[in-house]
Amino acid sequence: MKQARDAVAWIAMNIGMVFALVGIFSFLATQSIFQQGTLANSAKTIMASSAVRADISNAITSSITNTLGTTSPQSANEVNLALQKTFENASVQNIFANALSEAQSHLNGASLGPITIGGPTFQNTLASSLQPIDPSLASLVQKTPLVINIPGTSLPNLGIIKRALPRVERDAFVGAGLLLGFAFIIAAKRRHVIEAIGWRLIAISFFNAFVFFILPQWIIPMLAISWGPVASIVLKAIGGPVIATYITIFVTGIGCISLPRFIPFL
């Protein structure tokens, strides 16, 4: 009889931990990838990356030289050089922060329009940076309206997922609570259930650490893909706020494993 109870408890506990994994991952995704403002708040960190700057510089240089009709290598080099100084301007960084906010709105399904930068502030700053290098090109930039598509922001519309996540998170945690509670009540050896939950919480913390930290920190940059460095920087920026959560999950797992040692009657 005890073996049957433990077997049922073991099944319920494992299914409950699958629900817990879904709930925790949904929570972390809501607090990072789908949290409006995360990209904009990390704009300075993202723009400080040489990989991001190189990608954006190349795209902006190509767009500007094509728009102005000055496609010579010298003009491209001059624009690229001026852009490095332009990126340091606080007003331009705010423009990029707004563009990143638009990109996240697109990802969340709140906006479907193109993601661009431009306007008088950007043009004036770029023209000022170009002035000492090539005054004629600076004058041309000043006079020509520039609307530039930001590279790497052709994001999928994940609005349907974002809208579903709160309900998925709630239902998953309710299911996990019911199943784990049932497993604890029915188990003949409750200490084994608590210890098993602890080990699975540690595994869940490692899984989430892999997705939100290890993957962007080390694995993506090693892949031979053009967008790898940029994706790595962006994922690290948006994953930063959830680090404390999976550390807490890990510590909770250690606590569950240790608890039966201090409560002998379990």
Domain ranges of the chain: 2-34+158-262, 46-149
Under 8 Å between Cβ of 195 and 256: yes
Radius of gyration of the chain (CA): 25
pLDDT at 118: 81
pLDDT tens digits along 64-73: 777 777 656 6
Give the separation between CA 54 and CA 47, rounded to whole angstroms.
10
Task: List own/partner pairs for 73-82 with CB under 8 A and 24 or more apart.
Answer: 75/134, 75/137, 78/130, 78/133, 78/134, 78/137, 79/126, 79/130, 79/137, 81/133, 82/126, 82/129, 82/130, 82/133
Mean pLDDT of the chain: 84
CA distances from 162 to 32, 174, 265 (A): 11, 19, 44
Length, in residues, of the chain:
266
Lowest mean pLDDT segment, chosen from 119-128, 151-160, 195-204: 151-160
Give the separation between CA 53 and CA 235, rounded to whole angstroms.
16
State pTM to two decimals: 0.76
Residue with token string 């996990």:
176
pLDDT tens digits along 10-50: 999 999 999 999 999 999 888 887 887 777 777 777 777 77
Q: Element (H or E) spanning 149, and its range?
A: strand 147-149
Residue with token string 């290098």:
133
